[in-house]
């Protein structure tokens, strides 16, 4: 672990989890069953669950960690292994910019979610935005072997993707204050956003399939 990674671990990692958990619970409806796509170790989900006992969260990831804090199922990074309308909502926390096809993942999320999607990700807008985001990705993820394609979108690209998929932006915040002062002057500055997206679907009386939904059987 180099100096930048050590400073991030000591001064930034726990604050990020705490701040993001608080931001996420502020937009969640009551009694929601949620799928966290790319949940990692599930620490943010654990914090969300502590703050909101009414919320049920499970996860999927391309790499299932043995120390995960929530139930996690492995997936291929492209197709979510659950039937249509299996969950009330889908959560992405700093995941879509790691994907080669973020739009496909969003389409999959709108398929398995009955009513909403919550996204925490980046905006590649502003002075040296790409370089700053790459630095943050390298420091936070490289040592864990996380794939880093650096597929950041501008604000306009996010909005175009939402329109193309027929998803409505219910709320949008760029004032997340993830980093302490003075780091916030460099690493926040509108580069991060949290959005809640509403999905218009047919039958509001569908049964909750989250408890019974299961991934396809393994071919191993």
Q: Calculate the dihedral angle through the C-alpha atoms of 175, 178, 182, 185, rounding to the nearest 10 degrees.
A: -40
- List per-residue pLDDT tens for the chain, 220 residues long: 443 444 444 445 788 999 999 999 999 999 999 999 999 999 999 999 999 999 999 999 999 999 999 999 999 999 999 999 999 999 999 999 999 999 999 999 999 999 999 999 999 999 999 999 999 888 876 556 677 889 999 999 999 999 999 999 999 999 999 988 888 888 999 999 999 999 976 544 444 444 444 444 343 3
Q: Give this prediction's pTM.
A: 0.85
Contacts of 170-175 with C-beta under 8 Å, sequence gap 24+, read: 170/27, 170/116, 170/196, 170/197, 170/198, 171/27, 171/195, 171/196, 172/196, 173/23, 174/123
Domain boundaries, the chain: 3-198
pLDDT at 170: 97
Q: Which fold has domain 3-198?
A: Rossmann fold (3.40.50)
pLDDT at 181: 86
């Amino acid at each position: 672990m180099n100096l930048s990674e050590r400073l991030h671990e000591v001064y930034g990692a726990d604050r990020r989890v705490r701040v993001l958990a608080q931001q996420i619970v502020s937009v969640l409806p009551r009694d929601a069953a949620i799928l966290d796509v790319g949940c990692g170790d599930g620490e943010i989900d654990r914090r969300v669950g502590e703050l909101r006992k009414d919320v049920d969260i499970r996860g999927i990831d391309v790499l299932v960690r043995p120390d995960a804090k929530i139930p996690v199922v492995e997936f291929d990074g492209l197709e979510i292994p659950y039937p249509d309308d299996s969950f009330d909502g889908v959560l992405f926390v700093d995941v879509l910019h790691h994907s080669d096809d973020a739009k496909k993942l969003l389409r999959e999320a709108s398929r398995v979610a009955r009513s909403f999607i919550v996204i925490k990700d980046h905006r590649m807008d502003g002075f040296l935005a790409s370089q700053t985001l790459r630095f943050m990705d390298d420091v936070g993820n490289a040592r864990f072997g996380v794939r880093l394609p650096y597929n950041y979108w501008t604000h306009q690209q996010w909005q175009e993707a939402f329109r193309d998929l027929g998803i409505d932006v219910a709320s949008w915040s760029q004032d997340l204050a993830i980093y302490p002062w003075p780091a916030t002057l460099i690493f926040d500055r509108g580069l991060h956003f949290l959005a809640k997206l509403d999905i218009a679907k047919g039958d509001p009386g569908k049964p909750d399939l989250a408890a019974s939904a299961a991934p396809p059987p393994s071919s191993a």
